[in-house]
Amino acid sequence: MTTSRFVPCTAPMAATEQLGQSADMTDTGSVRYAREPGLDVGAFRRVLDESGLGAIRPLNDAPRLQQMLDQADLVVTARRSGNGDLLGVARSITDFSWCCYLSELAVSKSAQGLGIGRGLLAETRRLVGPAVSVILGAVPQSVGFYEKIGMPRMPDAFWYRREH
């Protein structure tokens, strides 16, 4: 566990996975999902790297990574319930009112395929609430994941690519 501020969430994942819940946390028994605004940049970097998403994120630019965390509106982590090991992260920009752009959804390779990506997305949706659209751009390798979890496609999306 890092020393960052860890704010447990109230949201459940799938009801079938919900083994323990109180007013301020959800613990599936093996994974705890929580809002973590002070996530350590080194831990963020590590999970990006271990997930594979680091190949298209500025892993070698620590100030830029730090700014990504500092300026994010919503950072949700998945940690192993027992020892607090970081398993995954979802970082979003949102106004908590109308829209939410989910920029990074990353699960360490050793923890992929266990429902954590689905859980992080569910937690993000719960935290922004039902009035808010959650929008993201999928990398080609993750398209099957979003299809599998039933996330609707946005037919007309437009974007200006960043130049670096």
Ligand X SMILES: CC(C)(COP(=O)(O)OP(=O)(O)OC[C@H]1O[C@@H](n2cnc3c(N)ncnc32)[C@H](O)[C@@H]1OP(=O)(O)O)[C@@H](O)C(=O)NCCC(=O)NCCS
Is 24 in contact with 10 (CB distance < 8 Å)?
Answer: yes
- Among residues 54, 30, 154, 64, the alpha carbon closest in space to that of 106 is found at 54
Q: Any residues with CB less than 8 A from the CB of 153 and at least 6 apart, and which?
A: none
CB of 101 to ligand X, least distance (A): 12
* Cα dihedral across residues 40, 43, 49, 50: positive or negative: negative
**Residues found in the chain:** 164
Name the minimum Å distance from CB 141 to ligand X.
Answer: 5
Structure tokens at 144: 């099957």
Q: How far is the CB of 23 from ligand X (least distance, A)?
A: 26
Interface with ligand X (CB under 6 A), residue from 75, 76, 105, 122: 105
Contact call for residue 103 and ligand X (CB under 6 A): no
Q: Is 8 in the site for ligand X (CB under 6 A)?
A: no
The minimum distance between CB 139 and ligand X, in angstroms, equals 5
Both structure tokens of 90: 């979802």
Q: Is 60 in the site for ligand X (CB under 6 A)?
A: no
| Residues contributing to the site for ligand X (CB under 6 A) | 51-53, 105-107, 112-118, 136, 138-139, 141-142, 144-145, 148-149
